[in-house]
Amino acid sequence: MKHIYTILFLFLVNGVSLPTWSEILEWDYEEFTLWLDCENRVAVRFSYQLGKDVGNQPRNNNYRLDKNPALPEECQQKTNKVYTKYTHLNETYDRGHLVPFNHMDHSTSSSDETNYMTNILPQVANMNRGAWLRTEEITECYRDHFPLQIIGGAIWDKNSQYLDRHAIRVPQYFWKIIVRGDEVIAWLIPNSKQATDARLDDYLVSVKEIEEKTNNFIVVSDAMKRQKIEKSWSREYCDKRDSNWRS
């Protein structure tokens, strides 16, 4: 089901959130949902649930635009091309997944949908392969032991670099929340080369902090919203015998 909302969307400028009004399209795929800011051609939020990992679809890089005729053209980037063609940029940007392919690899169609450009944003390579990847690994570790709810999104700076061929801006931050029962963990990760795997704990925040920075309402208890743990969950539960595990 598709819904359009007019919501207060926050841009982060010099550490201060400035509000603008945008129309947000809620867009459902088979097993995950994106909230698309059609004015800016990007997904501002994503959500999905995970249970036990029962799949092992081989990874593919079939990045492409979503040609669903019900999706307005202006609600996604103009091209599926790599971001590295912008030679004037100081950073190397990956086509970074919001919902990762590996979390949907139990289904050919669902995993393939993660490669739609609606689910892709420019992520600094160190961050995508470092802190952000570690959040994906933590999720993969715990899904076999607990049902999980994952919610996340991105925050932009008014001065964010504009990628003219894609017609989008580069996010300043990415955020992610994982809920397992009455426990929650949340990160606010800068889209920078400093955001390595080893620094993930530096980006731990409370759900309340994310709500305040993004104007998102997260459906967890008030007590859980105030939780801010000191260390990210361990990856000791991981089964890396899977040949498709990304190290």
What whole-number distance in Å separates Cα of residue 81 and Cα of residue 145? 37
Q: Determine the topology of domain 3-226 in CATH.
A: Extracellular Endonuclease; Chain A (3.40.570)
| Annotated domain spans of the chain | 3-226
- pLDDT over 60 (residue 27): yes
**pTM, to two decimals:** 0.87
- pLDDT over 90 (residue 20): no
CA-nearest of 136, 210, 201 to 173 is 210
- pLDDT over 90 (residue 224): yes
Q: Whole-angstrom distance between the N-terminal and C-terminal Cα of the chain? A: 36
- pLDDT over 50 (residue 243): no
Phi, psi of 20 (to 5 degrees): -135, 155
63 vs 145, which has greater pLDDT?
Answer: 63
Count of C-beta atoms within a 10 Å radius of residue 186: 27
Residue holding tokens 């397992």?
180
> For the chain, what is the mean pLDDT?
87
Predicted confidence (pLDDT) per residue in 160-196, tens digit: 899 999 999 999 999 999 999 999 999 999 999 999 9
